[in-house]
Amino acid sequence: MSQPLIELDGTMGEGGGQVLRTSLTLSLLTGKGFHLANIRAGRSKPGLQPQHLQSVLASARIGNAHIRGASLGSTDLVFEPGPVQAGCYHFNIGTAGSTGLVLHTIALPLALAGGEPSEVSLIGGTHVTTSPSFHFNDRTWRQHLQRLGVSLTLRLDRPGFYPRGGGLVRVFVQPSAGLRGRHLPSRGEVSVSGISAVAGLDSGIARRQARRARQLLEAHDLDVQLDEQTWEGGPGSVLVLEVQTGDVPAVFVGLGARGKPAERVAEEAVAELLDYVRAGSALVDAHSGDQLLLPLALAEGPSSYEVATVTRHLTTNIAVIGHFLHRPIRCIGNEGEPGRVEIL
């Protein structure tokens, strides 16, 4: 007799795609099916959008799953997983939807349950708003996973910006024997480096982004080493600021847009960086706070870390994980403020 489905409400917590992605990952790893209702019901475009749908389809493909409700705009999904299978996979979002968020959904199942190496090609957005950029995934997320026992290699073959998309990321996943818990230390001395890049645009935009970033950071007694680059593809621009405070850097990104001054791109990235620097001793940035939680909840042994900002994404992830795993997790701190996460 099959197990009953886990019933989930997509309006819980932050009410967006995170409920879906975490549920898909944990379903593949635990073998527990789920029914998710009210998917993104509170968003301006409710239901499954292209990047969410591709996360479902990619999960179903690697996990031999039975699915119902997997269509654009659907607000109701049933996902019943089979065994995860390693292999060579190609997923095309078809828009500038985030390749990074699809990757976050399937990487742990392939590493922990695939049993063999896998290669994944993802086409879509590589540097788009409200989602982890390629450089964040490569410099921060991947390095956190590596220290927990998961080995990934990420390669940016072609950048993809909004609205055109079309970026190509290749991911090489090695099988993992399991995750190990970790107590992350407080941060150390701060150093800043990064890149200012354009693709299909005048190189002067990259210079202006870099110049403004240097001005702002030096005004706060922070030196920065910035490399100005011109990429193929595009059009688009990006400023990536990497803050080294421990063995894994924090990455903050500003993105260009039609009609948006290059200086504004720099100001947005620097503002996020300064919020992090001012957050006391916390090593883990706000974006990593919820993304680090899932692998640590699956790891053997206790873990803990200080996070620069307790976000709604973090508390939502705690709630979703609780539906699949019997793992005590404690978040100490108020939303919008620095906090501490303990996985017992």
- 256: three-class secondary structure by DSSP: coil
Q: Which two tokens stand for residue 285?
A: 């940035």
Q: Which of 90, 313, 323, 326 is catalytic?
A: 313
CA pair distance 301, 295, nearest whole angstrom: 12
127 is catalytic: no
**Number of C-beta neighbours around residue 143 at 10 A:** 15
Contact, 65 vs 78, CB < 8 A?
no
Q: Which helix (H) or strand (E) holds 312?
A: helix 312-324
Q: What is the C-alpha end-to-end distance of the chain, expressed in Å?
A: 32
Q: Which two tokens stand for residue 147?
A: 């220290």
**Number of C-beta neighbours around residue 58 at 10 A:** 22
**Number of C-beta neighbours around residue 139 at 10 A:** 19
Q: Looking at residue 311, what DSSP letter applies?
A: -
Q: Which two tokens stand for residue 8?
A: 């989930």
CA pair distance 66, 190, nearest whole angstrom: 48
Q: Which two tokens stand for residue 1?
A: 């007799």
**Among the listed residues 7, 12, 4, 5, the one whose alpha carbon sits nearest the alpha carbon of residue 319:** 12
- With tokens 């080493």, the residue in question is 225
Catalogue the active-site residues. 313
